[in-house]
């Protein structure tokens, strides 16, 4: 392969690692296999990611960045606060379950982190950043409607993300290969939206 500047090679290797591990699992992400995936020398992977921790950090950060980018790209529309929250949540759901291999990969890294102090640091930072972004989005949406949140934005974000992760995990466990989310999953998602909006507005939750 022709010489490629390091600034371009790194994102290529991250994408190759994500593609490989999404298909075959996190354990398949050896430097040799990633190099073969992109068609480069194994030394190139070693040079780019000095340790497995560096690789896992790059992969998890890119996965979350991709999901968040798709949410930001979704327009919340011009409806009431609750409808706009629902639109953004469904955009996040669609981007998450559309590529189940990536969701499973992220879950695998999170599971490994429970026993690995170095990975714990990565996942802890990622968790905090995800909660911060979710809280900021809720705050911005409330400000746009002239609303004062009934609960602290970060506490609502934590509650929402915990429920969302659980629904995604349930879907991945119960789904048939390539199956669309079933009506039960979507009703549960709307109940989570209603609960989140209720916490924001200080009103009882009612599913749409």
| C-alpha neighbours within 13 Å on the C-beta side of residue 100 | 15
pTM of the full predicted structure?
Answer: 0.83
pLDDT score, position 23: 93
d(CA 155, CA 77): 25
**In this predicted model, what pLDDT tens digit does every residue of 106-150 receive, in sequence order?**
889 989 889 988 888 888 988 898 899 999 999 999 999 999 999
Structure tokens belonging to residue 120: 């714990």
pLDDT score, position 167: 94
d(CA 96, CA 115): 25
DSSP letters of 40-74?
--HHHHHHH-SSHHHHHHHHHHHHHHHHHHHHHHS
Q: Structural domains in the chain?
A: 1-50 (1.10.10), 59-201 (1.10.357.10)
d(CA 198, CA 163): 14
How many residues are there in the chain?
Answer: 208
Backbone angles phi, psi at 45, to 5 degrees: -70, -45
Residue keyed to tokens 């714990």: 120
Confidence of residue 194 (pLDDT cuts 50, 70, 90): very high
Average pLDDT over residues 7-28: 91
**In this predicted model, what pLDDT tens digit does every residue of 59-117 receive, in sequence order?**
988 988 888 787 777 777 788 999 999 999 998 898 888 888 998 998 899 898 899 88
């Amino acid at each position: 392969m022709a010489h490629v500047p390091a600034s371009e090679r790194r994102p290529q290797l991250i994408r190759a690692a994500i593609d490989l591990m999404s298909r075959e699992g996190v354990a398949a992400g050896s430097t040799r296999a990633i190099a073969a995936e992109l068609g480069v020398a194994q030394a190139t992977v070693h040079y780019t990611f000095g340790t497995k921790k560096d690789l896992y950090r790059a992969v998890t950060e890119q996965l979350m960045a991709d999901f968040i980018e798709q949410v930001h790209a979704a327009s919340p529309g011009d409806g009431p606060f609750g409808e706009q929250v629902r639109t953004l949540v469904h955009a996040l759901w669609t981007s998450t379950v559309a590529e189940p291999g990536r969701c499973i990969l992220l879950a695998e890294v999170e599971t490994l982190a429970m026993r690995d102090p170095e990975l714990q640091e990565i996942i802890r930072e990622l968790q905090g950043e995800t909660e911060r972004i979710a809280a900021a989005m809720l705050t911005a949406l409330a400000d746009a409607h002239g609303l004062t949140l009934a609960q602290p934005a970060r506490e609502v974000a934590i509650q929402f993300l915990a429920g969302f992760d659980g629904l995604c995990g349930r879907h991945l466990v119960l789904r048939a290969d390539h199956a669309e989310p079933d009506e039960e999953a979507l009703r549960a998602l709307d109940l989570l939206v209603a609960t989140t909006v209720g916490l924001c507005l200080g009103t009882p939750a009612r599913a749409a």
